[in-house]
Structure 1
Amino acid sequence: MPVKVESFDSLDGAARALSAARSARFLGGGTLLMRAVNDGDQSFDTLVRAVDPASRQVRSEGDGVTIGAGVTMAEVVAHRDLSFLAPVARVVGGPAVRNMATVGGNLFASSPYGDFTAALLALGARLELVGQGGRGIEIDEFLRDRERYVGSIVRTISVPRPRDPGAFRFAKVSRIKPKGIALLTIAAYLPQSAGRIRGARVAYSSMGPRPLRATAVERALDGQYLDAATIEQAAAVACDGIEPHTDGLASAWYRREVAAVHLKRLLTGERR
């Protein structure tokens, strides 16, 4: 079945075309969607794209940064105001993928992809969808019901900038370095006040169909000093309330076994 491509000058025009055609998909960087085209996916026959320059902008606003959904991983790495996210973007595929893959596209990526989204989840990002009149949506809400937004276009992603660079931590676990597909990704935001963690957010990717919060770990960390005893308690509940999946990369059993090990390494600052 032939696939046609429709281009628009604005995200709003693309959104109207997308809502009018049930068999259309929005084309951002195309790193995953073009794979589906090449594999002969019959679930869509139209690709809608936009050449809106606003979607490639990055703006610093107060204590945060607003990222256009069309910003690529390579642009994240190169942008001065996104230095705290550069280590995350740097492990998304190889150079060719990073030159195409977008921040907005990663929000819709299914496991085992979605490493960047795990970081956004840990940081408590907020999304603006096209056609919502500027109304924002928390990334937690978006991911809980992501299928509902498959026909939507993300305009921007607003991310709080960590005041303490050491408060944000990220680790991608893969069999092939530096650009292998993740067996497990962990992102943690651990702001502190008077030496104690306040408002911990810990997120996993490749531990389910979409990135998710490790709420048991967050409870173990919140209000505590980040010492050896606290880290042991957090590692002990690394998979509480989480059901890892089995795929061609690893079994659910393996993911459950290694999650605590890598969480502990992340919290102690150990790099491997």
Structure 2
Amino acid sequence: MAFTIETYATTAEAARAMGADARFLAGGTLVMRDVNAGDQSFTRIIRSTDPALTAIRGTGDGISVGACVTLHQIVANPDLAFLAPVARQVGGPQVRNMGTVGGNLFAPHPYGDFTVALLAIGAKVTTAQGQKPVDDFLRDRDRSGLVTEILIPRPRDPGSFGWHKVSRTKPKGASVMSIAAYLPREGGRIRNVRIAFGAMGGHPLRATGAERALEGQSLDASTIARAAAVTLEGLSPPTDPLASEWYRREVAAVHLTRLLTRMERS
């Protein structure tokens, strides 16, 4: 099947060119896989040379990351050091050199580990239609339009962010599940807690029950146990070739406990 490749100088032009018959080419780890698989749902490939798409810049209490910034760039940037452990566990070096932050937002289950971290940290996604929280973006990502920028909050305490990945092939296998937690503290109490799971639904989801159990509490063994008891609230674990729904339900609380215990001790 023949594809038309269109290149535009600005994201605005590229956004106008997008349509139901088009896919945007960022790193290519998703789009080219579909091309090689003979996907006939699109015939045009859109790309842009706009330098804003590959820029990383500070914005006060946050960091603006262009949608075409690669995961390798995340690892190499000192301002994003708290996200480096997440990016390092996405595929091998070749994938990280090509895979982009914007593309990861669209990665289907069980992929999209970096998006799990973005959901936990409370990132915002900018598209041609405007900016929205990543929570809202994920609920409607198939109709979101062209992503141009991701605004990542800068945690005041890097230790308030934690990451845990469960896979059968280490260190770069697809996730049985992944967990990211953001536990900012004020006066020893957790405020505005966010916990996100990957591979526990059609897209990354927040563990709303565990969040409620931790909000306003100190992080200790009893609080962690209460959060673990309601881990599955807000989640919808699937069955796939990596693991069954039953297995994911059985081990989710175990792995959340491990992550929170590690954060308590850090």
> Normalization by structure 2: what TM-score?
0.97
Structure 1 residue 136 displacement after superposition: 1.5
- Indicate whether 1:8 and 2:8 are aligned: yes
- Indicate whether 1:228 and 2:226 are aligned: no
Q: Distance in 2 between matches of 1:51 and 1:182?
A: 32
Secondary structure of 1:157's aligned partner: strand
Secondary structure of 1:242's aligned partner: coil
- Equivalent pairs, count: 264
Q: Distance in 2 between matches of 1:242 and 1:221?
A: 17
Gaps of 5+ in 1: none
Structure 1 residue 147 displacement after superposition: 2.3
Match of 2:143 among 115, 140, 148: 148
Indicate the residue corresponding to 2:61 in structure 1: 63
Structure 1 residue 148 displacement after superposition: 2.1
- Indicate whether 1:195 and 2:193 are aligned: no
Decide which moves more: 233-242 or 109-118.
Answer: 233-242
Query: Superposition pairs for residues 94-133 of structure 1, below 5 Å?
Result: 94-130=92-128, 132=129
Query: Superposition pairs for residues 224-263 of structure 1, below 5 Å?
Result: 224-263=217-256
Q: Distance in 2 between matches of 1:188 and 1:145?
A: 23
Indicate the residue corresponding to 2:166 in structure 1: 173
Secondary structure of 2:98's aligned partner: coil
Secondary structure of 2:135's aligned partner: helix
Indicate the residue corresponding to 2:88 in structure 1: 90
Superimposed CA distance per residue, residues 49-103 of structure 1 (whole angstroms, 9 cap, x where no aligned partner) = 1111111101111111110111000000001111111111111100000000000
Q: Is the 8 A contact 2:205 2:234 kept in 1?
A: no
Superimposed CA distance per residue, residues 142-190 of structure 1 (whole angstroms, 9 cap, x where no aligned partner) = 11222221xx111111111111111000111101111100110100000
Indicate the residue corresponding to 1:39 in structure 2: 37
